[in-house]
Amino acid sequence: MNPNSRCLPVMLLTVQWGEVILHNFQAAIEKGNVELVLEVIKEIQAAGERMSSNKTKAFVVKLCDIQPFTAVQLGSIFSRNSRKLQSKFLRPMVESGDLILTIPDIPHHYMQAYKIKSSLE
């Protein structure tokens, strides 16, 4: 594989991820948050594949502040395995209070998503 084959232009990659958002992130469309989510995705792209743990956590917080995301959705945004993302970042961030579960009574629910605690909660 050509090492440069993964370096797609930002616009093309954004369009591809935009299609993922349109397909997988119905809540973003309903709430009118697609532009905000795309903006964060562009920032993630600019940061590159090998970003630090702190940067990854910051982007997770930024995304989950816009709306709740499942581990699968976050995995597709970060181009990472959702289970590894969950074990390395999401669960520890829930334990530390950085994120909260949308279904706290059933932590392993198949529709479980992560969000930021709002000031109204």
What is residue 9's predicted lDDT score, i.e. its pLDDT? 33
What is residue 121's predicted lDDT score, i.e. its pLDDT? 53
Q: How far apart are CA 20 and CA 102, in angstroms?
A: 22
Residue 58: CB atoms within 10 A of its CB come to: 15
Domain ranges of the chain: 3-115
What does DSSP assign to residue 2?
Answer: -
Instruction: Output the tens digit of pLDDT for each of the chain's 121 residues.
Output: 344 433 333 333 444 444 454 445 556 656 677 788 888 888 988 888 788 999 999 999 999 998 889 998 898 888 888 899 999 999 999 999 999 999 999 998 988 999 998 744 5
Q: How far is CA 96 from the centre of its chain?
A: 18
Q: What is the pTM of this model?
A: 0.74
